[in-house]
Structure 1
Amino acid sequence: MKTLMMKLVIFVMFFFGNMIFVSKYKHLLIVLLSLEFIVLSIYFLMMYYFMMFSYDMYMLMIFLVFSVCEGALGLSILVSMIRTYGNDYFQSYNLLW
């Protein structure tokens, strides 16, 4: 019962992260936050399965390093776009420049 509830919570986290990613595509900050939420749910899923099969947790450290690098890159793009254009709306950018 406990494992089924844990899987359900992880699935709901992943589903809501994807729904926010799809529905709130106008702001870059919300898109980045939803991507981090999806990465967090994948991290919980990997941790659950590694603990269930008693594997080594070294792969989780590598996954965390890549997710932190992804978050830092996203924030640097966000800061660059806000300094250049003044906001984080996707409609105000001319992507052909």
Structure 2
Amino acid sequence: MIYFCGVWVFCSSRKHLLITLLSLEFVALVLYFSIYFYLCSFSYGLFFVVYFLIFSVCEGSLGLSVLVSMVRSHGNDYFQSYSVLQC
């Protein structure tokens, strides 16, 4: 249920890049906790959880770098002010 709320926010928020990135991080966090509790219930090794957390952090830092470069080049994070034709 919480996962679908995060996906709904991701699909419905098209105005700001920051809100989109935060909803992606929320979905990654919900998936992290669900995988962690699933693996703990069967007492498997938790090394996969560490790999998933590393990829989530890399995804977050990549999104933050895109946000910073967009704010530096356009002055804000609105998608309406961003044009694909500009370099």
TM-score (normalised: structure 1): 0.85
Deviation at 1:76, TM superposition (A): 0.6
Matched, 1:59 2:53: no
Percent identical pairs in the alignment equals 56
Runs (4+) of structure 1 exceeding 4 A deviation are none
Q: Aligned partners of 2:2, 2:26: CA distance in 1, in Å?
A: 7
1:23: Cα distance to partner? 1.0
Alignment of 1:8-27 (within 5 A): 12-27=1-16
2:74 paired residue among 59, 77, 85: 85
Number of aligned positions between the proteins: 86
C-alpha deviation, 1:96, in angstroms: 2.2
Q: TM-score, normalised by structure 2?
A: 0.95
The Cα shift of 1:19 comes to 1.0
List alignment gaps of at least 5 residues for structure 1.
1-11
Q: 1:31 aligns with which of 13, 17, 20?
A: 20
RMSD over aligned Cα atoms: 0.8
